[in-house]
């Protein structure tokens, strides 16, 4: 799933526009992004980062430099390594 500071309506429209096969969740107050260390408490925008959450609910991997073309492969490789 994806997460952004955008509203649920904006996330839904963005997901539909690009036909994402996963949900985009809304974190309008930034609480989730802050809790997982992606954003600072004074940030007005969420950075383009990814966090892979393991089955135990803890951060299994963090990706600070996300390149859209390469990122899915990185995440899939990390998921495979977790098996």
Q: Do 14 and 33 belong together in one domain?
A: yes
Write down the mean pLDDT value for the chain.
83
Q: Which residue has the higher pLDDT, 47 or 38?
A: 38
Chain centre distance of CA 80: 18
Rounded mean pLDDT of 58-63? Answer: 87
| Dihedral sign of CA atoms 63, 47, 21, 70 in order | negative
Rounded mean pLDDT of 22-39? Answer: 85
pLDDT of 28 above 70: yes
Q: Do 54 and 73 belong together in one domain?
A: yes
Q: Do 40 and 69 belong together in one domain?
A: no
Please report, rounded to a whole number, the percentage of residues in the chain having pLDDT higher than 90: 7
Q: Do 37 and 60 belong together in one domain?
A: no
Please report, rounded to a whole number, the percentage of residues in the chain having pLDDT higher than 70: 93
Task: Tell me how many domains the chain contains.
Answer: 2
Q: Which two tokens stand for residue 43?
A: 């940030």
- Residue 45 pLDDT grade (very low, low, confident, very high; cuts 50, 70, 90): low
Q: What are phi and psi of 3, to 5 degrees?
A: -145, 135
Q: Do 79 and 58 belong together in one domain?
A: yes
pLDDT of 8 above 90: yes
Domain that residue 2 falls in: 1-44
């Amino acid at each position: 799933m994806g997460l952004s500071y955008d509203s649920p309506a904006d996330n839904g429209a963005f997901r539909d526009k690009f036909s994402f096969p996963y949900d985009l969740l809304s974190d309008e107050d930034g609480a989730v992004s802050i809790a997982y260390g992606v954003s600072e408490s004074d940030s007005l925008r969420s950075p383009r980062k990814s966090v892979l959450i393991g089955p135990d609910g803890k951060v299994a991997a963090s990706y600070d430099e996300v390149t859209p073309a390469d990122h899915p492969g990185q995440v899939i490789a990390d998921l495979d390594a977790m098996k």
